[in-house]
Amino acid sequence: MRIDVVTIFPEYLEPLNVSLVGKARARGVLDVRLHELREHTSDVHRTVDDSPYGGGPGMVMKPEPWAAALDRVVGSAGPQDGLVPTLVVPTPSGRPFTQQLAQDLAERPWLAFAPARYEGIDRRVIEAAAERMPVVEVSIGDYVLAGGEVAVLVIVEAVARLLPGVLGNAESHQDDSFAPGRMTDLLEGPVYTKPAEWQGRAVPEVLLSGNHGKIARWRREQAFARTLAVRPDLVRRWERSAMDKHDLRA
């Protein structure tokens, strides 16, 4: 997968050089390219934003630099990249970023990210881009960041770990919470490792029993209890899908 990021804060994306994504880049599984938006300005002050038409607080990102930057990205398509990237635009007003959306993005050969400062990018940039490539506006949660770079880190990590060869077998994502197709879309329950007793707290006996049937049942019960406590909405969704699956609706 190729990933391009256009940003005025390339240093914000340094984390893409370390750990899981860093290793995937070193192994050639991911090809990540950063583009400094200000290199696509044409004034001496390298201006990227201006005050909003219609008034209001803050600044809006000007269309010309973005259009030039995206032209450069699309124009640099290599034979293995696919014709155009999918443009991912982090924004509080986007569609919720979910494991399903991460899965969907992980199946695409080329993603380009357009993190903006909070007040956003001139709408005409998104409209023009949508005439030549798929555009997905994505929210990583109902809260407001100062800029989209942090959202890019979240999305890239969630997508990269789904790519073949990125996670070792030991860290499979098959049993993730929210992994589509997972037997139950429930949250993970508690996990334990050595020592068997720590500060007077013992590991649940069942996990030391070696009885895999009992362990699996205990883990399902724990996942269900945790989901009921923390995310009852997911339990209702799980019940609905179970009813549908077994055609149990009255």
Ligand X SMILES: Nc1cc(-c2cccs2)n[nH]1
Answer yes or no: 71 catalytic. Answer: no
Q: Which of 15, 38, 92, 231 is catalytic?
A: 92
Which segment (10-18, 67-75, 111-119, 210-218) binds ligand X by CB under 6 A? 111-119
144 or 248, CB closer to ligand X? 144
90 binds ligand X (CB under 6 A): yes
For ligand X, the binding residue among 143, 193, 197, 213 (CB under 6 A) is 143
Measured CA to CA, the distance from residue 181 to residue 247 in angstroms comes to 18
Measured CA to CA, the distance from residue 228 to residue 224 in angstroms comes to 6
Answer yes or no: 240 catalytic. Answer: no
Answer yes or no: 161 catalytic. Answer: yes
For ligand X, the binding residue among 58, 109, 134, 141 (CB under 6 A) is 141
59 binds ligand X (CB under 6 A): no
Q: Which of 36, 64, 104, 119 is catalytic?
A: 119
Minimum CB distance to ligand X, residue 224 (Å): 29
Decide: 17 and 77 in contact? Cβ < 8 Å.
no
Among 46, 63, 48, 34, smallest CA distance to 117 is for: 48
Which segment (26-34, 63-71, 85-93, 203-211) binds ligand X by CB under 6 A? 85-93
Burial 91-109 (b: 16+ CB within 10 A, else e): bbebeebebebbbebbebe
151 or 186, CB closer to ligand X? 151
139 binds ligand X (CB under 6 A): yes
80 or 93, CB closer to ligand X? 93
151 binds ligand X (CB under 6 A): yes
> Is the preceding omega at residue 52 within 30 degrees of 0, hence cis?
no
Answer yes or no: 176 catalytic. Answer: yes
Angle at the Cα of 249 (from 243 to 250), degrees rounded to 5? 150
92 binds ligand X (CB under 6 A): yes
For ligand X, the binding residue among 137, 147, 157, 238 (CB under 6 A) is 147
Among 188, 242, 241, 174, smallest CA distance to 219 is for: 188
Instruction: State the DSSP code for 42.
Output: -
155 or 186, CB closer to ligand X? 155
Per DSSP, the residues of 186-224 read --------S-SEETTEEPPGGGGS--HHHHHHHHHHHHH
Task: Please provide the size of the chain in residues.
Answer: 250
* Residue 106: φ, ψ to 5°: -65, -15
Catalytic residue numbers, as ranges: 92, 119, 161, 176
In the complex, which residues of this chain contact ligand X (CB under 6 A)? 90-92, 115-116, 118, 139-141, 143-145, 147-148, 151
